[in-house]
Amino acid sequence: MTRMPIEERRAQLLDAALSLAAREGVEAVTIRGVAHEAQVSLGVVHYCFDGKDDLLQAMGRSMALVASEHVVGALQTEGDLTVVAHALADALWTGLQPRRHMRLLTFEFATAGVRSMALRAVAQEHLEQTWAMTSAILERLAVVGSVQFPLGFAMLSRLVAGYIDGIEIAWLVDQDDDAALASFHALADYVLSLAQPLDPA
């Protein structure tokens, strides 16, 4: 077995664990299963992680949510607020299609965090990152369109993130591409309906 720095080995094992989880689910992740997936000994996994809980926590944090390139790029779209909002809807769909297994895994981690003390902090961290990311996009949208959202970014980001999760879960189950894309655009229209011109004061 090739020796490598511990951080490189941990990254290799995390990749193996995520591949295993994406294929068979979070419940399938065990020290033995990850060792087999990575083609290393059990001792190597135990050397890098204190146990299964430590491994799961590291997996969850490695999946930290960031704004996708597609969504960030959509904010640069030329046009008025409506055009940009619907470009964001298209970007959400474009980013979702190739990430089906990772999105499913993200939802599995969220539900596992409800039951597992080891994963609860990770699930909460993901939730807060999702809200923060959504809020940042909405704030940028407000600047682009010179509008305000009286509901407030904190509440609006929770609502929008919840809608997005719901659309994605429905798509994971029914695989209805047209319905998912239409739902993202309906969400864009909903957000636009809440926008108001900036108060001159």
Q: Is 168 inside any structural domain?
A: yes
Which residue, 41, 62, 83, sits at the end of a domain? 62
In a shared domain, residues 84 and 132: yes
CATH classification of the domain holding 47: 1.10.10.60
Instruction: Give the pLDDT of the chain (201 residues) as one tens digit per residue.
Output: 557 788 999 999 999 999 998 888 888 889 999 999 999 999 999 999 999 888 888 887 777 554 467 787 888 888 899 999 999 999 999 988 888 888 888 888 888 888 888 778 888 888 888 898 899 999 999 998 999 999 999 999 999 999 999 999 999 999 999 999 999 999 999 999 999 998 766
Q: Give 113: exposed, middle or buried? Use CB within 10 Å, 0-12, 13-18, 19+.
A: buried
Give the CA count within 13 Å in the CB-facing half-sphere of 62: 19
Structurally, the chain folds into a number of domains equal to 2
AA identity, residue 71: V
Domain assignment present for 156: yes
Within a domain: residue 100?
yes
Together in a domain, 47 and 78: no
Contacts of 144 (CB under 8 A, 6+ apart): 75, 81, 84
What span, in angstroms and rounded, lies between the C-alpha atoms of 10 and 6? 6
Structural domain that includes position 100: 69-197
